[in-house]
C-alpha cells in the first residue's frame, strides 16, 4: 500500500529520529535533533492547502507546527557574518530525495517570505507522517506552496554566489 501525505502520522510505523544538518557558509555548522529544534520559537500554521505550481491540489491539512528557517540559521550564527557577505548568499533546503528549495538572503530577511519559511515537525498536533518526515519544509507565503514544499528535509546548505 502506498503512503499518502494525507495519512495521519499515528497510523504509520515509527520513523528514524529527526536530524537536520546545517552546513556551508555558516560560522557554526551543526546537526540539530528534534530537541534542539523544539527549543527554538515554535510557529503554528493553521489550515493549509498545498498546491503544485499549476494550482492542482496536492495536500490539505488542518495545522502544521515547526520553527522558522531564519531561527534555525541564527542557531548556526548566520547573521554574525558581515552584511555585505550575507546579501550574496543563497540558502538551499535539501530533501532526502535530493530535491532542493532555494531562497535568497533578501527573501528570508528583507521581505515577508522569510516569516513563513518553516521547518516542520508536526502535522495536526502529531509528528509528521512517514512520507513527509520526520522533518519537512514549507514556504507558506508563496503563491503556490508546492514548489518549495520539501518532504524528508535532511539539510540546510548556505552558499555564497
Are 21 and 40 spatial neighbours (Cβ–Cβ below 8 Å)?
Answer: no
Residue 67, exposed/middle/buried by CB under 10 A (0-12, 13-18, 19+)? buried
What mean pLDDT is predicted for residues 153-161?
A: 96
What mean pLDDT is predicted for residues 35-62?
A: 80
Q: Is pLDDT of 63 > 60?
A: yes
**Domains of the chain as residue ranges with CATH:** 29-160 (3.90.420.10)
| Predicted pLDDT at 143 | 78
The set of residues, in sequence order, having a beta carbon less than 8 Å from that of 60 and lying 6+ positions away, is: 6, 47, 48, 49, 50
Strand order in the sheet with 153-160: 30-33, 19-24, 153-160, 89-95, 100-104
What mean pLDDT is predicted for residues 42-55?
A: 76
Radius of gyration of the chain (CA): 15
Amino acid at each position: 500500500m502506498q503512503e499518502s501525505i494525507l495519512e495521519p502520522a499515528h497510523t504509520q510505523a515509527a520513523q528514524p529520529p529527526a536530524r537536520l544538518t546545517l552546513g556551508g557558509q555558516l560560522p557554526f555548522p551543526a546537526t540539530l535533533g528534534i530537541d534542539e529544534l523544539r527549543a527554538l520559537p515554535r510557529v503554528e500554521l493553521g489550515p493549509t492547502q498545498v498546491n503544485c505550481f499549476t494550482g492542482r491540489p496536492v495536500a490539505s491539512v488542518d495545522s502544521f507546527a515547526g520553527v522558522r528557517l531564519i531561527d534555525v540559521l541564527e542557531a548556526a550564527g548566520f547573521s554574525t557574518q558581515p552584511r555585505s557577505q550575507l546579501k550574496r548568499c543563497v540558502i538551499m533546503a535539501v530533501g532526502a530525495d535530493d530535491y532542493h528549495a532555494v531562497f535568497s538572503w533578501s527573501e528570508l530577511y528583507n521581505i515577508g517570505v522569510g516569516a513563513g519559511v518553516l521547518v516542520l515537525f508536526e502535522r495536526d498536533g502529531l509528528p509528521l507522517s512517514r512520507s513527509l518526515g520526520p522533518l519537512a519544509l514549507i514556504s507558506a507565503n508563496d503563491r503556490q506552496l508546492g514548489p518549495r514544499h520539501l518532504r524528508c528535509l535532511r539539510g540546510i546548505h548556505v552558499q555564497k554566489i
